[in-house]
A and B are shown apart, each in its own frame.
Chain A
Amino acid sequence: AQRVTQPEKLLSVFKGAPVELKCNYSYSGSPELFWYVQYSRQRLQLLLRHISRESIKGFTADLNKGETSFHLKKPFAQEEDSAMYYCALSGRNTGNQFYFGTGTSLTVIP
């Protein structure tokens, strides 16, 4: 069965420090992985998806099929990065549905 695990519920880093939000998944087949972000008082929104190989707001995420991970990284955290982050998985086996992790609340300390 498909599963998304975000082991850290809370993560605090200082401004300017590197940040890594962990995401591991379980899926039989080729998954599509995504990161969603919810800033305070805003709606949940797509941050990035692995197939685009893009960098959004300085964040990147690489799909590691060997380790079944899709960690979100940023070399220098900013205060405005403080938000709730969700890792999500989709694929042909999920019927176009997304399965979300439990989320990681990131706080960037000034």
Chain B
Amino acid sequence: SQTIHQWPATLVQPVGSPLSLECTVEGTSNPNLYWYRQAAGRGLQLLFYSVGIGQISSEVPQNLSASRPQDRQFILSSKKLLLSDSGFYLCAWGRQGLGYGYTFGSGTRLTVV
């Protein structure tokens, strides 16, 4: 069966520090991978998605970047965190093609202080 792992679960980082959140998927190949940010009252905001190794699409210009070094690994990064980067970050994977839902990771609560 397919599983998705996301870590760390919580993270407190000072302003200006770098960030690296990792997400891996098991039990499937060539998944679509997604990074979302969940904010109270604002729902789920798509940040990045990837349909293959090295293929990253950005939905929202911001202080963050994403990379997909391996088929089932998706990394969210920042060189210098801002206070506004605080939030709950969710990784998700989905099958190629329509009609399938996402499977979400357990999320990372990031607090920038």
Q: State how many angstroms separate the Cβ of A48 from the closest Cβ of chain B.
A: 9
Interface residues of B in 18-59 (CB under 8 A from A): 32, 34, 36, 38, 41-44, 46, 49, 51, 57, 59
Indicate which residue in B51, B98, B106 contacts A91 across the interface (CB closer than 8 Å). Answer: B98
A 1-22 to B, binary, CB cutoff 8 A, 1 in contact else 0: 0000010010000000000000
User: Which B residues lie within 8 Å of A51 (CB)?
Assistant: 99
- Cβ-based interface call for A27 (8 A): no
Per-position 1/0 for A83-110, Cβ under 8 A of B: 0001010111001111111110000000
| Cβ–Cβ contact A96 & B94, under 8 A | yes
CA distance A44 to B36 in the complex (A): 11
B103 near A46 with CB under 8 A, answer yes
> Which residue of A has the minimal Cβ distance to B45?
A100
Q: Shortest distance in angstroms between A52's beta carbon and chain B's nearest beta carbon?
A: 9
Tell me the bound Cα distance from A86 to B97 in angstroms. 21
Query: Which of A34, A86, A96 is in CB contact (< 8 Å) with B43?
Result: A86
A49 at interface by CB-CB < 8 Å: yes
Q: Within 8 Å of chain B (Cβ to Cβ): is A57?
A: no
Which B residues fall within an 8 A CB radius of A? Answer: 32, 34, 36, 38, 41-44, 46, 49, 51, 57, 59, 90, 94, 96-99, 101-107
